[in-house]
């Protein structure tokens, strides 16, 4: 047996309470392990620790597993009667049988040696306060990300200097087009018609740039976007239309015109805000990047000095800002920009404070990599699921990948975190930080639909970038932030794409299987680049998703009820075709 491939610990996503009654236990092994049994029971079933009594647990086979590129991930759920659990694993690899304990592997003979002290895995107590709880509503939400300056300008907006005519085609970062909050409010009925149930707004607080990630005043709506009252109206009207609202919080860094930073620049170490930032060597230079290390900033950008989120005054200030947003606007969540660089201390404080204020508040971190350390129940509820973005995208971009590669990548995304987090992950294919999906797939509309079909059938919460519903194009930042082409909504191409996207949204909202955590990859179709997977819900309903990446049509039969199709004819799935059917 490949001992080095076997891994388990009683923490993180390996062993954790799903709720107050159920305990999830996961094990990673090599692919040589064919069967796994869990032997579990109460630690005190035979007496207290150290006693002479022999402990015997209940032996159950673990039948659920996911295949990764180099490993097998085994998962089971147990219900400890007395809220505590003691266990070990029995591993079968060919003719070998090994018993896996906390301190290693034993043979049956070693395990049964008289006087042998066995180091069991122990979950000492499933405290309700320690259960990772995430807001239920997020899994039901279809998000729509809006970059305010480029989405819509309100019909009654007064003329402003520096506003360009609503544009078509490529844009530049310094250009302002005048999109604002009243424009978003005017389009809420349009969004409701699409089936959208959540809006994610990129920053709207006062800032110098059009993207607003260089905050000047966290307590003030940027005047180019509107007023406090217009923000309240937007949220209130959104709620009346069944749409939640999430703001973007930029707390890793401020802008160069943030009052405390200006005070530091004026007074240096004598400023009462000096320790609000990470200044290493005074004086600092603002006329070049920060590679000299005199102070830390976002991505070496001198105009975005890094906030010291280890500082108690800064933590208190950010707490006040976030609670103020809830009080003033009644928002439903905050997305934390550069969410992996702020301190854990800040995030733990915010989690406690904001959940106490609004129990089902959604805390989302912008983290592009494995975020396990932030998803343990006392910081973020979820992160932006960029690993899933690349897992889906790479299959269609890299023609050397097979359906097995696709399955391995997807399975890896859903074995990184606890189920509670998987259920509310923020799944997306493009954003203000990436090229747009249709551009990335070279304008291949059918491939665009394939990727969206995959996105809409994954566990978590779905987000589309504004304009995705009409196949909006755009390269990398800033080109991905083009003006929403409202005059193109009725074009033949827009209507065709919109109808398909609306169908996926409707299915996502109405079919439990689309949102369910449960899926597997059966490999019943022989073609290596026809991805296939089954989704199941708690009631046993099943759907099949087929995505043809082959150069030829694939025979898939005509059984089941077709829920969504693109390029499916008489039992054959055409190249770049998509089929979702109820089995």
pLDDT digits (tens, 9 = 90+) for 83-116: 999 999 999 999 999 999 999 999 999 999 988 8
The answer to whether the CB of 467 falls within 8 A of the CB of 148 is no
pLDDT of residue 50: 62
Q: Does CATH place domain 514-582 in 2.60.40?
A: yes
Q: Which fold has domain 253-308?
A: Oligo-1,6-glucosidase; domain 2 (3.90.400)
pLDDT digits (tens, 9 = 90+) for 289-305: 999 999 999 999 999 99
**For residue 478, cis peptide bond before it (omega within 30 degrees of 0):** yes
pLDDT of residue 115: 84
Residues 6+ apart with CB under 8 A from 193: none
- Each domain of the chain, given as residue ranges in start order, spans 3-130, 140-177+190-221+243-252+311-513, 253-308, 514-582
Q: Do the two domains 3-130 and 140-177+190-221+243-252+311-513 of this chain adopt the same fold?
A: no
Q: Could you say which of 149, 248, 332, 366 is catalytic?
A: 366
pLDDT of residue 465: 98
Q: Which fold has domain 140-177+190-221+243-252+311-513?
A: TIM Barrel (3.20.20)
Closest CA to 111 of 90, 125, 85, 132: 90
Closest CA to 398 of 549, 546, 522: 549
pLDDT of residue 46: 84
143: enclosing H helix or E strand = strand 142-146
Q: Could you say which of 248, 337, 451, 511 is catalytic?
A: 337
pTM for this predicted structure: 0.96
Residue 337 designated active-site: yes
CATH architecture of residue range(s) 3-130: Sandwich (2.60)
Residue 206, token pair as written in the block: 């006062």
Angle at 123 between CA 118 and CA 126, to 5 degrees: 160
Residue 366 designated active-site: yes
On the 0-12 / 13-18 / 19+ scale of CB atoms within 10 A, 266 is exposed
The answer to whether the CB of 381 falls within 8 A of the CB of 425 is no
pLDDT of residue 52: 66
Backbone angles phi, psi at 123, to 5 degrees: -105, 105
**SS3 for 368?**
coil
Residues in the chain with pLDDT < 50?
Answer: none
């Amino acid at each position: 047996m490949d001992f080095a491939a076997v891994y388990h610990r009683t923490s993180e996503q390996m062993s954790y309470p799903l709720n107050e009654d159920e305990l999830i236990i996961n094990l990673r092994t090599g692919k040589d392990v064919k069967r796994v049994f869990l032997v579990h029971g109460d630690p005190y079933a035979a007496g207290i620790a150290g006693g002479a009594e022999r402990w015997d647990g209940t032996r159950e086979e673990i039948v659920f597993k996911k295949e990764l590129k180099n490993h097998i991930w085994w998962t089971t759920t147990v219900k400890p009667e007395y809220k505590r659990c003691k266990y070990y694993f029995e591993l079968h690899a060919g003719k070998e049988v090994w018993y896996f304990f906390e301190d290693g592997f034993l043979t049956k003979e070693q395990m049964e040696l008289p006087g042998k002290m066995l180091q069991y895995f122990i979950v000492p107590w499933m405290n309700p306060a320690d259960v990772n709880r995430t807001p239920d509503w997020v899994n039901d939400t279809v998000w729509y990300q809006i970059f305010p300056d480029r989405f819509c300008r309100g019909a009654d907006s007064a003329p402003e200097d520096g506003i360009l005519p609503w544009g078509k085609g490529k844009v530049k970062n310094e250009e302002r087009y005048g999109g604002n909050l009243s424009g978003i409010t005017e389009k809420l009925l349009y969004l409701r018609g699409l089936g959208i149930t959540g809006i994610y707004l990129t920053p709207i607080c006062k800032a110098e740039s059009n993207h607003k990630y260089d905050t000047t005043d966290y307590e003030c709506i940027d005047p180019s976007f509107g007023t406090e009252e217009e923000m309240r109206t937007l949220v209130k009207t959104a709620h009346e239309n069944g749409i939640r609202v999430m703001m973007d919080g930029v707390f890793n860094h401020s802008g160069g015109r943030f009052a405390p930073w200006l005070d530091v620049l004026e007074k240096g170490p004598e400023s009462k805000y000096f320790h609000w930032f990470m200044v290493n060597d005074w004086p600092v230079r603002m006329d070049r990047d920060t590679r000299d290390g005199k102070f830390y900033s976002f991505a070496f950008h001198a105009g975005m000095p890094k906030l010291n989120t280890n500082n108690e005054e800064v933590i208190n200030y950010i707490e006040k800002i976030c609670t103020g947003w809830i009080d003033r606007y009644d928002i439903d969540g905050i997305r934390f920009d550069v969410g992996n660089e702020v301190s854990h201390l800040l995030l733990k404080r915010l989690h406690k404070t904001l959940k106490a204020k609004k129990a089902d508040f959604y805390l989302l971190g912008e983290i592009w990599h494995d975020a396990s350390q932030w998803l343990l129940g006392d910081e973020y509820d979820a992160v932006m699921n960029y690993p899933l973005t690349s897992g889906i995208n790479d299959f269609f971009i890299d023609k050397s990948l097979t359906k097995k590669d696709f399955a391995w990548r997807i399975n890896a995304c859903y074995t990184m975190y606890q189920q509670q987090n998987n259920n509310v992950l923020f799944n997306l294919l493009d954003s203000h930080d990436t090229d747009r999906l249709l551009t990335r797939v070279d304008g291949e509309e059918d491939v665009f639909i394939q990727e969206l079909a995959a996105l809409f059938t994954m566990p978590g919460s779905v987000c589309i970038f504004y304009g995705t519903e009409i196949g909006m194009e755009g390269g990398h930042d800033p080109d991905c932030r083009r003006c929403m082409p409202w005059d193109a909504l009725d074009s033949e191409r827009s209507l065709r794409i919109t109808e398909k996207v609306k169908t996926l949204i409707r299915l996502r909202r109405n079919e439990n299987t689309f949102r369910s955590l449960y899926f597997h990859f059966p490999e019943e179709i022989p073609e290596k680049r026809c991805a296939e997977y089954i989704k199941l819900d708690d009631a046993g309903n099943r759907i099949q998703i087929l995505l043809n990446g082959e150069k030829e049509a694939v025979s898939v039969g005509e059984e089941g009820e077709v829920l969504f199709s693109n390029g499916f004819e008489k039992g054959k799935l055409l190249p770049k075709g998509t089929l979702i059917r109820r089995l």
